[in-house]
C-alpha cells in the first residue's frame, strides 16, 4: 500500500513523469528483511 501511495504522489510531479522509463515493484517477505545487515 505504501508503494502505491508513493507512486501516486510521484506521478503528480511533471518532471518525474517525463524522466521515468520503467518502475517495477516486488514484495519482500518479513523473513527477507536485510535492512539491519545493510545499515550496520
- The pLDDT, as a whole number, for residue 33 is 66
Quote the cell numbers at residue 6: 508513493
pLDDT digits (tens, 9 = 90+) for 8-28: 888 899 998 888 888 777 666
Spatial separation of the C-alpha atoms in residues 2 and 27, rounded to whole Å: 12
Question: Within 13 Å, how many C-alpha atoms sit on residue 18's CB side?
Answer: 3
Instruction: Report the number of distinct structural domains present in the chain.
Output: 1
Which domain covers residue 17, as residue numbers? 2-39
Task: Find the angle CA(20)-CA(23)-CA(24) to the nearest 5 degrees.
Answer: 170
- The pLDDT, as a whole number, for residue 32 is 65
Amino acid at each position: 500500500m505504501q508503494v502505491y501511495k508513493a507512486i501516486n504522489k510521484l506521478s503528480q510531479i511533471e518532471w518525474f513523469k517525463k524522466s521515468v522509463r520503467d518502475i517495477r515493484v516486488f514484495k519482500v517477505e518479513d523473513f527477507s528483511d536485510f535492512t539491519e545487515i545493510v545499515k550496520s
